[in-house]
Structure 1
Amino acid sequence: MLDGLSTADLDTGCRHGVPWYVAQLGGQLVAALTSQETPLTVGLANALERVAALHPECDLASPGTPSATVAILRQRAGFFDHLVLADSPIVFEGLQGFTVLTDLRVDEVLPDMRAEVERYETHTPEHQAALRRLVTAQRRIRNTPDGYWVAGASPEAAAHARVGSTPAEEVRAAAVLSDGASRLVTEYGMATWSEVFTMLRTGGPQELIAAVRKAEATDPTGRRWPRYKSGDDAAVAFCQW
């Protein structure tokens, strides 16, 4: 799962843009992880290096260079390996309940500026101005020890991902989600993980995404749930065995 970071209409230093970057990174990740013996962090670092090599004419040192969250779930003999970098979560349904694997370091930085954005309704000039100020400030500490880490131009970010392995017998099903889909639980509180997995089993990702959009339609300007935009990109991969 790759989720491109919003640019808030600010310059990125790249003539290709975030959608191009995400597409290239996805392809390079698949290629880098063809061997199950390759550690996920090594595969991600290799993919980041290869994508950077595809556009050396762009300003890859720009703090706004295209970037993305990463969530990888890999099945191998007896285990499920995971890697999360930023806030696209992986959720396991196990024999003892649900386990959420995510990286929320971005939520720990710049709390005052985040609160300022959330004071205004979406689609207002004040909200957009506050959002641009926040994104500008986030860029200064993105992929630094004082900030948070995402997939960008430097392979160094891969070393800061959160990784682990879970015995296969402990997992019944798993979902890999963008934060635009997981927020039905994490931000809106309109469902439990148990209810989300029931949706995924009965109606697939489409049913979950439709539930997210239905909730957002009741609060189009962010009064009930203050947020950066009325609705964010929503994607889900659901796995069961």
Structure 2
Amino acid sequence: MPEIVIAERAGVGADGHPRPTEDHVVVLDNAVFVLDGATSSDPSQPPGGWYAERLARHLADDLRAAPAAALTDVLTGAIAAVTTENELRPQQSPSSTVAAVRWLEDRVDALVLADSPVVGFGGFGVDVVSDDRLARLRRRGMLQTGADVRRRRNAHDGFWVAEADPGAAAHAVRRSWPRADVDAVLLASDGVSIGVDQYELFDWLEVLAITRTDGPDAVLDAVRTAEKQDPDGERWPRPKRHDDQALVLIDFASGGIQGLP
């Protein structure tokens, strides 16, 4: 088994007050999932962390039962199960991003739905598996209100995320690499990837180097330090001062798990 190193940190809510993280990390014998829950704008709905935790549990159970199953099929089934069990309705439910990495004897598979990227490193170079549909809509000013988000969520002219439509899984971004070519893989929630994509504090090779040398918490620290220097979002506009953070390194050069409680 590769070495797996994990760092997680809670952010703040939209009101600026601390609250439990809505990110979830799941480690299996041959897979890792990172989910970032997003709370519905409908206050009668459960929080995003509630949804992400239930989806993570189904993903783990289903992949344990069929370790080589197609990741898209596993995600489809998990979304369907959470939707049915909790009577969720499309456009009116909490949601979650999904980043998944699964390794088999001959290959390493990655799946990304919404803005939690997976980054592979190896003989192929640096391969960023990202779903930028949400970011493109934000840059174009098309997600200004809750109604905008609901209208564009899981729509062909919008973005795709795990919510109450199992068909969203078919729109995930996928990648497979030969196992022998893979040196390491990173999974991150957007509270970490923002340090690369928006703050430009480092690139992904530097994130890998820092994580290997100083540990993943050093990456989280760098992002938080930058945000503290821009508390009101003047340099980097963002919906809240600090987002939840999750970063996982799967290092195929060694073995073990660090950072799990």
TM-score band by shorter chain is 0.7 to 0.9
Query: TM-score, normalized by length of structure 1?
Result: 0.84
Question: More displaced, 69-78 or 102-111?
Answer: 102-111
Using the TM superposition, give the Cα deviation of residue 110 of structure 1 relative to its aligned residue in structure 2, in angstroms: 5.7
2:105 is aligned to 77
2:131 counterpart residue number: 103
Please tell me whether Structure 1 or Structure 2 has the larger radius of gyration of its CA atoms. 1
2:176 aligned counterpart, secondary structure: strand
The corresponding residue for 1:120 is none
**Alpha-carbon distance between aligned partners in 2 of 1:38 and 1:95, rounded to the nearest angstrom:** 25
| Residues 20-51 of structure 1: per-residue CA shift (max 9 Å, x gap) | 11110001001111223311010001101111
Q: Distance in 2 between matches of 1:160 and 1:153?
A: 14
Matched residues in 2 for 1:153 and 1:62: separation? 5
The DSSP-based 3-state class of the residue aligned with 1:230 is coil
Which letter does structure 1 place at the counterpart of 2:37?
G
- Structure with greater helix percent: 1
Taking the TM superposition and a 5 Å limit, the aligned residue runs for 1:204-219 are 204-219=215-230
Given that residues 129 and 175 in structure 2 are in contact (C-alpha distance below 8 angstroms), is that contact kept between their aligned partners in structure 1?
A: no
The answer on whether the counterparts of 1:89 and 1:102 sit within 8 Å (CA) in structure 2 is yes
Q: Which has the higher contact order (CA 8 A, sep 6+)?
A: 2
Structure 1 residues 198 and 112: alpha-carbon distance in aligned structure 2, compared to 1, 3 A threshold: closer
Question: Letter of the aligned partner of 1:94 in structure 2?
Answer: G
The two structures, once aligned, show a CA RMSD in angstroms of: 1.8
Q: 1:166 to 1:113 in 2, by over 3 A?
A: same
Deviations 1:55-102 (A, max 9, x none): 12xxx2252311011110001012100111111000112235321101
1:168 paired residue number:
179
Distance in structure 2 (CA, Å) of the matches to 1:82 and 1:71: 7
The structural deviation recorded for 1:111 is 4.2
1: CA distance, partners of 2:39 / 2:94: 9
Cα pair 1:113 1:134 within 8 Å, conserved: no
SS of 2:245's partner is coil
- 1:182 CA drift (Å): 1.1
- How many angstroms apart in 2 are the aligned matches of 1:39 and 1:147? 25
Q: CA deviation at 1:184?
A: 1.2
212, 237, 241: which is aligned to 2:248? 237
Check whether the contact 2:129–2:174 (CA below 8 A) recurs between aligned residues: no
Tell me if the contact between 1:174 and 1:238 (Cα under 8 Å) persists in the aligned partners.
yes
- Give the Cα–Cα distance (whole angstroms) in 2 for the partners of residues 140 and 13 of structure 1: 19
1:52 aligned to 60, 75, 83, which one? 83
State the SS of the aligned residue for 1:239: strand
Matched letter for residue 240 of structure 2 = K
In 2, distance between residues paired with 1:63 and 1:24? 18
Aligned partner of 1:4 in structure 2 is: 37
TM-score, structure 2 length as denominator?
0.78
Report the counterpart of residue 86 of structure 1 in structure 2: 114
Instruction: Say whether the 8 Å CA contact 1:84–1:102 is kept in structure 2.
Output: yes
Matched, 1:31 2:64: no
- Structure 1 gaps of 5+ residues are 115-130
User: Is the partner of 1:235 in helix, strand or coil?
Assistant: strand
- 1:48-197 matched pairs, under 5 angstroms: 48-56=79-87, 60-61=88-89, 63-95=91-123, 97-109=125-137, 111-113=139-141, 133-197=144-208
Shift of 1:232: 1.0
Q: Judging by fraction of residues, say which structure has more strand.
A: 2
Deviation at 1:112, TM superposition (A): 4.6
Q: Identity across aligned pairs (percent)?
A: 39
Seen in structure 2, the aligned counterparts of structure 1 residues 111 and 93 have a Cα distance that, compared at 3 Å, is closer
